[in-house]
């Protein structure tokens, strides 16, 4: 692997408290750091209505508000944030640690998996059977296959709504269905959905089945809040419902996981593959808490720095040196 093959020193997968805290530590240590995340603010913390146990947050605040500050702090120190869903990885010995995003391959010296525990929900009836016949999970991947057709987007988070907006540029019409009574997303996203001429939004609908004929999707069947049945027609159904299992399917067995899919690590957040670390809810732990996720992100970043630069001990954060403008040699621990 040559220097020119690398796209960054550290690639972080996940834009929650673990991922962004890791990005802060890594960027402060002068590592070229990239974070891949489907939305700028992702995961459970972004959806928490109020958070009252975040240290220094005296008054409870929406999780999204706190996460936005962590996100901004990562940017302040020079981390790059790429909005994409990581579809897979290929951890090689000689060609670097490869991470496959929307339409690009990243190659890093070290990787931190911080993808949380909001894996795709269990499949609904018809979803497995009609896979390949109009069931989709990614607009960048499959949106063009539905050009000028009527499609459905099923989801309850901002990422689903952003995908719907992208799809509306390609499809004839997009029907967004959310199981929640109202859309939970940033105001500008909700406004864009409402303003789009070819997007219809239907809330309070719980999907029951994806229906089709001859192996091809024809629509989806729902129950509304009054338990009445409703069928929406569409040539494609883009699914973005989230469950509560660790989001590790994209690894395709590249790392050791436990019986429930949580990534196994040591106390330094090191996984079964050299140079790959994991932090946050994607690891099994006693308590899944946002501040614990952030702490693990910091440990993972410090461990990744040790892996990249060598050395026996994990160095403490060199942020003070960076803040006073120390030269690169000092930041990177070179004599």
Partner 1 sequence: MVKPIDVGADDFDVEVLQCTDRPVLVDFWSETCGHCLALNPQYDQAAETKADEVKFVKVSFQQCRDLFGEYGVRATPTLVLFRDGEEIARTVGAKRADDLNAWIDESLGD
Q: Point out the catalytic residue in the list 9, 72, 94, 142.
A: 142
Gap between the Cα atoms of 149 and 133, Å rounded: 14
- What character string, x for contact with partner 1 (CB under 8 A) and - otherwise, covers 190-229? -------------------------xxx------------
**Maximum separation of any 2 CA atoms in the chain, in Å:** 71
Assess whether 142 carries a catalytic annotation: yes
Q: Point out the catalytic residue in the list 138, 186, 224, 317.
A: 138
Q: Count the neighbouring beta carbons within 10 Å of the beta carbon of residue 197.
A: 6
- The crossing angle, in degrees rounded to 10, of helices 187-195 and 158-168 is 30
17 close to 67: Cβ distance less than 8 angstroms: yes
Distance of CA 184 to the CA centre of its chain: 17
Gap between the Cα atoms of 323 and 321, Å rounded: 5
- The torsion region of residue 63 among left (phi > 0), alpha (psi -120 to 50) and beta comes to alpha
Assess whether 8 carries a catalytic annotation: no
Shortest Å distance, C-beta 219 to partner 1: 14
Shorter beta-carbon distance to partner 1: residue 68 or 149: 149
Assess whether 138 carries a catalytic annotation: yes
Shortest Å distance, C-beta 142 to partner 1: 5
Pure H helices in 156-212: 158-168, 187-195
Shorter beta-carbon distance to partner 1: residue 101 or 275: 101
Shortest Å distance, C-beta 313 to partner 1: 35
Among 101, 219, 275, 280, binds partner 1 (CB under 8 A): 101
319 binds partner 1 per the rule CB under 8 A: no
133 binds partner 1 per the rule CB under 8 A: yes
Judged by CB under 8 A, the chain residues 243 through 302 that form the site for partner 1 are 250, 252-253
Gap between the Cα atoms of 147 and 150, Å rounded: 9
Q: Please tell me whether residue 285 adopts helix, strand or coil conformation.
A: coil
Among 60, 88, 179, 204, binds partner 1 (CB under 8 A): 88
Q: Looking at the DSSP assignment, which residues form a beta bridge with residue 213?
A: 216
Shorter beta-carbon distance to partner 1: residue 191 or 252: 252
8-state DSSP, 122: P
Shorter beta-carbon distance to partner 1: residue 48 or 217: 217
Any idea which residues carry the catalytic annotation?
A: 138, 141-142
Q: For binding to partner 1 (CB under 8 A), which residues are involved?
A: 84-90, 92, 98, 100-105, 131-136, 138, 140-142, 144-146, 215-217, 236, 250, 252-253
């Amino acid at each position: 692997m040559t220097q020119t093959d690398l796209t960054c020193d550290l690639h972080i997968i996940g834009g929650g408290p673990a991922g962004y805290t890791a990005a802060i530590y890594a960027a402060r240590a002068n590592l070229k750091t990239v974070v891949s995340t489907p939305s700028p603010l992702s995961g459970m913390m972004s959806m928490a209505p109020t958070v009252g146990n975040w240290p220094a947050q005296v008054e409870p605040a929406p999780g999204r508000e706190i996460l936005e500050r962590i996100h901004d702090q990562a940017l302040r120190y020079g981390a790059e944030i790429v909005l994409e869903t990581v579809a897979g990885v290929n951890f090689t010995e000689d060609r670097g640690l490869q991470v496959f995003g929307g339409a690009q391959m990243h190659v890093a010296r070290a990787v931190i998996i911080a993808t949380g525990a909001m894996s795709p929900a269990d499949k609904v009836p018809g979803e497995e059977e009609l896979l390949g016949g109009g069931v989709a999970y990614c607009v960048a991947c499959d949106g063009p296959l539905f050009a000028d057709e009527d499609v459905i987007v099923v989801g309850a988070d901002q990422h689903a709504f952003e995908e719907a907006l992208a799809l509306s540029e390609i499809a004839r019409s997009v029907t967004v269905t959310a199981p929640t009574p109202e859309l939970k997303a940033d105001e500008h996203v909700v406004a864009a959905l409402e303003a789009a001429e070819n997007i219809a939004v239907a809330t309070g609908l719980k999907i029951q089945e994806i229906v089709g004929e001859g192996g091809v999707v024809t629509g989806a069947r729902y129950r509304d809040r009054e338990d009445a049945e409703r069928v929406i027609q569409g040539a494609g159904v883009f699914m973005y419902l989230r469950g509560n299992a660790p989001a590790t399917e994209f690894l395709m067995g590249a790392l050791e996981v436990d019986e429930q899919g949580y990534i196994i690590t040591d106390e330094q957040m090191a996984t079964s593959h050299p140079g790959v670390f994991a932090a946050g809810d994607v690891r099994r732990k006693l308590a899944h808490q946002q501040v614990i996720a952030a702490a693990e992100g910091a440990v993972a970043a410090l461990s990744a720095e040790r892996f990249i630069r060598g050395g026996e001990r994990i160095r403490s954060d060199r942020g003070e040196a960076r803040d006073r403008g120390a030269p690169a040699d000092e930041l990177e621990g070179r004599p």
